[in-house]
Amino acid sequence: MKWKEIGKVSVDSGMVMITDPCRVVSHPEGTAPQFSSLFKNWKEFVRAVDVSRPGIIPFPSNGLPEMAVVSATGVGDGSFPVMALIDATVPGSGIVELRIVFDEKASIPEDFVEDGAKRVERYLAAARRITGMDDGADVVKVARMIQREVEYE
């Protein structure tokens, strides 16, 4: 599995919302409740969602199934990278997880960014396991094959 930036989300309200698009745009079957039926205007929406609390806030459902998740960015407005964890064995897009990075210095996990020496050592360790050898040209050759497979898909 591999993390990949798949785009950016632009924020002008200091918060983001994750939801099914049929909650925003009319669904062909017309059965999905939409936000426009719950809130008359922006003020009503903001009053219903308390983004002053840290973390992810469930969207008020008024008795309906959960419709969305709303979260303050913690850093205000901006354009934030959206990362996807992609598993090539999963059919379709292969996306198994999404992550929005609001503060790049604080939010990018160690498994996403690592220094070159650490990465090379990881490839060499995998090559040693595969070849059953401690060192040598074959270990380096297998490590390079692993690197190409992981980094240059």
Instruction: Looking at the structure, tell me whether residues 73 and 128 fall in a common domain.
Output: no
Instruction: Looking at the structure, tell me whether residues 27 and 74 fall in a common domain.
Output: yes
Instruction: Looking at the structure, tell me whether residues 48 and 103 fall in a common domain.
Output: yes
- Nearest of 61, 54, 58 to residue 69 by alpha carbon: 58
Instruction: Looking at the structure, tell me whether residues 103 and 120 fall in a common domain.
Output: no
- Nearest of 151, 146, 141 to residue 123 by alpha carbon: 146
* pLDDT tens track for 23-78: 777 666 666 666 666 677 788 777 777 666 655 555 655 666 667 778 888 888 99
Instruction: Looking at the structure, tell me whether residues 67 and 126 fall in a common domain.
Output: no
Instruction: Looking at the structure, tell me whether residues 75 and 125 fall in a common domain.
Output: no
9 pLDDT more than 90 = yes
Distance between CA 45 and CA 59 in Å, rounded?
10
* pLDDT tens track for 114-137: 556 677 777 788 888 888 887 777
Instruction: Looking at the structure, tell me whether residues 129 and 101 fall in a common domain.
Output: no
11 pLDDT more than 90 = yes
Instruction: Looking at the structure, tell me whether residues 64 and 21 fall in a common domain.
Output: yes
Domain extent for 62: 2-107
pTM over 0.75: no
Instruction: Looking at the structure, tell me whether residues 25 and 46 fall in a common domain.
Output: yes
Number of domains in the chain: 2
Instruction: Looking at the structure, tell me whether residues 103 and 129 fall in a common domain.
Output: no
Query: What are the DSSP calls for 36-87, one per residue?
Result: HHH-SSHHHHHHH--TTSSSEEEPP-TTSPP-EEEEE-SS-SEEEEEEEEE-
